[in-house]
Amino acid sequence: MSGFFSGRSGGGLTGGLSNGVKMAAIAFLVQQLMKHSRQEGAASAAPTSASPAEGTGGLGGLLGGLLGGGAAGGGLLGGLGGLLGQLRAQGLGSQVDSWVRPGENHAVSPQELERHLDPNDLDAAAQQAGTDRQSLLEELSRTLPQFVDHATPQGQVPQREEEIGGEGIGGLLSSLLQGGQARQR
């Protein structure tokens, strides 16, 4: 499959990364944010031709479009509250709350995430990245708390991308791709 995970020269973006599974985890996270954004009715605020629902570009195309800039960050931000709400409602409230508020982030196990995420979405992301579901879940268990911690610098889900600081959602995801760690708040 062509796109973000395979490329024109040198294997695409993952060819330059030491861990293609991290790319898959971040692409999966972006897909989940867009999914929740649409469910929340916020998709109209973030039109993107790389939406998985349109069948063009897949997860890699979506992430590539996001990191390229544009209005996608607003749509992703709209999906953050929905995703966190779903995880809270399914029993991960203490972990989610620790990621949002300042201080230590509580760990979430790959097994906990597997129970709360769509298996079809997980399998599709793993297959597209050339990995297995378990490896993807292990990376998600590390990446998701970091992402939420970075995206909620004031201890609450931001309503506007400017509240994240830096370069917004795109900058945050790019930092995670490059191995950035959760900042200490």
Q: What is the CATH number of the domain that holds 34?
A: 1.10.10.690
Is 2 inside a domain boundary?
no
Is 6 inside a domain boundary?
no
> Would the pTM of this model clear 0.85, i.e. be above it?
no
Is 7 inside a domain boundary?
no
Q: For residue 41, what pLDDT is reported?
A: 61
Average predicted confidence (pLDDT) for the chain: 74
CA–CA gap between residue 96 and residue 26 (Å, rounded) = 17
Is 52 inside a domain boundary?
yes
Is 67 inside a domain boundary?
yes
Given a cut of 90, whether residue 11 has pLDDT beyond it is: no
In the block, tokens 């990191």 appear at 67
Is 96 inside a domain boundary?
yes
DSSP 117: S
Given a cut of 90, whether residue 128 has pLDDT beyond it is: no
Q: C-alpha angle 86/32/6, rounded to 5°?
A: 160
Query: How many domains in the chain?
Result: 1
The encoded tokens of residue 171 equal 């900058």
Query: Domain residues for 55?
Result: 12-177
Is 140 inside a domain boundary?
yes
CA–CA gap between residue 135 and residue 24 (Å, rounded) = 10
Neighbour-count burial for 10-37, b at 16+ CB within 10 Å, e otherwise: eebbbeeeeebbbbbbbbbbbbbbbbbb
Give the residue with greater pLDDT, 41 vs 158.
158
pLDDT single digits (tens) 130-180: 899 999 999 999 999 999 998 998 898 888 877 887 777 778 888 887 775
Given a cut of 70, whether residue 19 has pLDDT beyond it is: no
Is 93 inside a domain boundary?
yes
